Structure 1
């Protein structure tokens, strides 16, 4: 075979890989609006108001005959969706690896979630139970789809490209979230000018996220391709539910350094997720800031997370992914320390805090994903990324629990927010102890020049 032929084939492979990568980015573009507009901004308050409309005089609703405070219904629905996702993800991941057909599973999960989100347009009056069911379906489907989406990373990007590719994916997601959130906020804040009621504006915002999710999912489904499963995966048999969860983690015991990274990730990521979910509570209750300020801060986080993800992706080329993540964890710790001393009634300080969160948020998550992708044994991408998502979702109650207990004991949201530093300090120490180059080699993957 001539040199020109080899060069042509290499060029074709590179072009095909770039095409897949661009398609892969667009799934983050498609689904991130659900996380931003639906979960973060609109659904929680709206579903709670619907549940309150259906509540009895004592303030309870009765799904399946179980008395539940209307104000707790949204939180319980989210918790139920996490349980459903934890049971389904390892099962789907193992099946996707065994068959090599990730794309049909990705499409089924994405369109299930998109349809459930679009159906939220019909959430009106006292239909709180409909809202709870749609939330459980959409949230669980999104988790399954993200697990499959993440598992493509080691297949579409060689080791030296993964930090940059993962960072661009996060940047696409945050950019889409920002764009749609701006449009949603214009409709919501000026709903009277458009001739619609406030509740109708919210339902349109919810449904539009589902339509966006479903529409742009077509791009990755057209560009990503399935691959022949590795021999180890082709002979595997999926076990039902919890048995598959146990089987996956039992298999991971053969790769203790991968488990060591996963432990570090679940600790510091729990801190990240808690800061995101509790920052608005801190801003409203401790700093006395209004709803418009809080929504503006959410939008600022989304915009700057794009910049942060791309910047940290570039830094990883110089310092390596592990060192860059460690630097981001130090930045998270400093951000919380500054937040502790913010004066009440000072929106400028809160916006600066939001800017700091945005700059480290996208990059720390993107590089964690790409670093983990090096630690996954070939042929077990979807199964191992299901463990990654389970670790993310399954422990996401620890941070809020610490936050709540600290507030209950001290009566201070400042003490509650600073208590979260423990997650970043412990996560930093655990990650610093992981010999990532040896972990990559032990997983059977080529070790990048800089990691």
Structure 2
């Protein structure tokens, strides 16, 4: 079958991943190091609990907001609101000089970023077709990885060189402004070109109806055997993925690895993840999405064990960063596209709200486990090791997901 070119809507949808990924990369690399400079003593515990609070807020909000956003013309309005608030919070992060004040603003920025991504994920069903979801979703993650490197390298150059004798805080203020501007610039194409074609009719008393509909939607998901096993598997394996993304820099910093080495290694992750995410989309079409998700879960199990028992120096962190790059984009992209194929299109935001709530509650559990185990034992390695069981459970549950019949395009 001849390769079909991407439509304008697909390209514009992909562009938003380029925009939001700049803040995602900054939040997993430089921001934890900056937070550690503001904090007294080890930062892993405080950072873990901060991420836990952000995830909890998102998990509680999304089923309600998702149900409202499924109504006609609402998805993009929610994107505008969350991106606008997130951009303001991102710029504001440059001003606090105390660790707690900074962490509060970071939590607001993180909530807005991740909430906007849920609405963005739900727009996937409007931007493309079932047959092309794996490829379009993978392209989004791929270009997000490589595109985010442009503003990140600019930010990194300013933070490392600190021209004109500027302080660490001043260089970070500029980095936050660059990241916020990039986020806005790459949000505009999606708002312009992607129309919400799947929706529910607008209703009066939307909030109260959304609250009453949450239980009904959860029952629908639970009654569908394929969705039930998929969402349970996702709950467990995405826990480890999100925890590694959020805590890797803080964990490496507490191990005494130089901050520059940590940031440069994570930059390499982006370049490795670019071709890997694209390859995952193609392999998903050839071998099946479920098979490739199982490969990704197994890969992350190895990564976690390596981090717990062997990560002690910069060279080992570099190896770990490359391994993460091989699997990170693929497992996230195929999870998103497979769920998009399984859920009812007119209820995409509502279903993706639950998709996200399972992911965010998993992130709450993972970061809480790492923070608590580290606090109780004084060993970050034991905290990291404790999340291996989640990958194992995720693998077992994914094996139970019934195979989805191949479409004509996938055969």
TM-score (norm 2): 0.88
Greater RCO (CA < 8 Å, at least 6 residues apart): 2
8 Å Cα contact 2:16-2:190 kept in structure 1: yes
* CA drift at 1:415: 4.3
Aligned to 1:146: 117
* CA drift at 1:260: 1.8
**Are 2:59 and 1:86 aligned?**
yes
* Secondary structure at the counterpart of residue 346 of structure 2: coil
Cα RMSD after superposing both structures: 3.1
Aligned to 1:41: 29
Aligned to 1:420: 387
Q: 2-side partners of 1:257 and 1:289: how far apart? A: 43
* CA drift at 1:161: 0.9
Aligned to 1:261: 230
Moved more, 235-244 or 28-37: 235-244
TM-score (norm 1): 0.80
Once the two structures are superposed, residues 107-139 of structure 1 have per-residue CA deviations (whole angstroms, 9 ceiling, x without a partner) of 222122112212334x1445954x455334322
* CA drift at 1:76: 4.9
Q: Which runs of 5+ in 1 are unaligned?
A: 1-13, 53-58, 60-68, 439-445
Aligned to 1:206: 176
**Are 2:20 and 1:31 aligned?**
yes
Once the two structures are superposed, residues 82-128 of structure 1 have per-residue CA deviations (whole angstroms, 9 ceiling, x without a partner) of 3332333222221221224322221222122112212334x144595
Q: 1-side partners of 2:377 and 2:36: how far apart? A: 28
**Residue of structure 2 aligned with 1:275, choices 234, 244, 259:** 244
8 Å Cα contact 1:304-1:355 kept in structure 2: yes
Aligned pairs (5 A) from 1:347-362: 347-362=314-329
* CA drift at 1:408: 6.0
**Residue of structure 2 aligned with 1:117, choices 84, 90, 102:** 90
8 Å Cα contact 1:87-1:242 kept in structure 2: no
Aligned pairs (5 A) from 1:55-204: 76-121=49-94, 123-126=95-98, 129=101, 131-191=102-162, 193-204=163-174
**Residue of structure 1 aligned with 2:287, choices 299, 308, 319:** 319
Once the two structures are superposed, residues 173-232 of structure 1 have per-residue CA deviations (whole angstroms, 9 ceiling, x without a partner) of 1112222221111101100x344222100111122211211122111111111326356x
Q: 1-side partners of 2:56 and 2:376: how far apart? A: 29
**Residue of structure 1 aligned with 2:352, choices 385, 390, 401:** 385
Q: 2-side partners of 1:378 and 1:248: how far apart? A: 13
Aligned to 1:441: none
Aligned to 1:249: 218
Once the two structures are superposed, residues 324-364 of structure 1 have per-residue CA deviations (whole angstroms, 9 ceiling, x without a partner) of 1111112222333444553744x333212210111111111
8 Å Cα contact 1:230-1:378 kept in structure 2: no
Q: 2-side partners of 1:336 and 1:79: how far apart? A: 19
The total of aligned residue pairs comes to 408
Aligned to 1:62: none
Greater CA radius of gyration, 1 or 2? 1
